[in-house]
Amino acid sequence: MNTRITRRPSGEFAIEVRGLTKAYGRMRALRGIDLQVRRGEIFGFLGPNGAGKTTTIRCLLDVIRPDGGKSFVLGVDPQADPVAVQASTGYLPGEMQFYENWTAARQLRFLNDLRGGRAEWGYVLQLADRLALDLHQAIKNLSKGNKQKVGVIQALMHRPELLILDEPTSGLDPLIQQEVHGLLRDANAAGATIFFSSHVMSEVEQVAGRVAIIRAGEIAEVADTSALTRRSLNRLTVCFKQPADLSELAREPGVEIISQKDYTVLLRVTGDMEAVVRALGRLPVLRLESQRPSLEEVFLTYYKK
């Protein structure tokens, strides 16, 4: 008797993944992913390039088939009933590719027709207006950022229950990034669950309530964004006007002096900056520069893999 579970009662989770594995030939892209995204939350999926973010997302939409494990999207197994999952989901691929000779409007009408015309065109125009996108331009004449805007609109236009976005702000300028974040918050306020991948920590911190960190096909950690922020890593370059005694600064918890040359000191600070700033305030500081480390550096620091 076939006892395969294809549907779960729609409960607490919008996405539930258990032991998901996927290999491309000899390369194991996913090594048993476990993940739970609650309904109504904004969930960040953070990892460096090649970590398995896109592979996970494409398995959830049944564009590729996992080798093992189980997943449920809005209570439905995407491998058993992909159309049900895709009908309630808005998807933004990592790399947007369209028919180059079509206008943005025609491309959006085509994708809307594939959904049975569920989107209201007035809402599409409203989204285009917010993102400052001219829908009458041919796709081939659009910049990478503007193509990304078309992608964002097609993902949002039918007001999906779940948004799955693969690096949604890639290629967008900072102002439009803020606008996209605003759109995501609005969709979330209207009840949509948002699952988005990124390799930019600051973006995830800004938008997501919870975050999963993936590295080399394995989930390294799932945490509240606030917990991650408390542990956030910063690099500080401090230039002094004259030689300074750094012993008090070095005693501050979470501060590590990486290098010291002439009057310039490079510090790594983990977590809260308040005590560091207070200690620096007692020193003859000429200039202070703060820098967020790369995601890879964060991994090396916290996950030691």
Partner 1 sequence: MRSLSTTFRYTLTRLRAQILGWGIGLALYGLMIVPFYRIFGAQQERFQQMIASYPPEFLAFFGADTASMLTPAGFLKMYAFSMLPLIIGIFAVVAGSGLFASDEEHGRLDLILAHPVGRTPFFLGRCLALGVAALLIALLGWLGFCILLHGSSLGISWGQMSLPFLSLLIQLLVYATLALLLSMLLPSRNLAAAFAGALLVVSYFLSSLAFLDARLEAVARILPHSYFQPVLSLQDLHLTWLAGLLGVCLVMTVLAWLRFVRRDVRLSGEGSWQAPLLRRRKPA
Task: List residues near partner 1 by CB under 8 A.
Answer: 21-23, 25-26, 28, 31-32, 54, 58, 61, 63-65, 67-68, 82-84, 86-87, 89, 91, 93-99, 110-111, 113-116, 154
**Shortest reach from residue 267's CB to partner 1, in Å:** 40
**Shortest reach from residue 280's CB to partner 1, in Å:** 46
Please, which residue, 54 or 169, has the CB nearer to partner 1? 54
Please, which residue, 100 or 224, has the CB nearer to partner 1? 100
Please, which residue, 85 or 183, has the CB nearer to partner 1? 85
Please, which residue, 20 or 207, has the CB nearer to partner 1? 20
Chain-centre distance for alpha carbon 257? 31
CA-to-CA separations, 195 to 93, 251, 286, in angstroms, rounded: 12, 40, 43
Joined tokens for residue 263: 């009057």
Please, which residue, 65 or 241, has the CB nearer to partner 1? 65
**Shortest reach from residue 190's CB to partner 1, in Å:** 20
What is the spatial order of strands in the sheet that 218-224 belongs to?
89-92, 162-166, 193-198, 42-46, 210-215, 218-224
Please, which residue, 100 or 256, has the CB nearer to partner 1? 100
Q: Which residue type does 41 have?
A: E
**Shortest reach from residue 67's CB to partner 1, in Å:** 4
- 3-state SS string for 64-119: CCCCEEEEEECCECCCCCHHHHHHCEEEECCCCCCCCCCEHHHHHHHHHHHCCCCC
Cα dihedral 23→71→209→255 (10° resolution): -40
**Shortest reach from residue 158's CB to partner 1, in Å:** 10
Residues 6+ apart with CB under 8 A from 267: 235, 236, 237, 238, 249, 255, 256, 257, 258, 276
Please, which residue, 149 or 210, has the CB nearer to partner 1? 149
**Shortest reach from residue 133's CB to partner 1, in Å:** 17
The whole-angstrom separation of Cα 37 and Cα 25 is 29
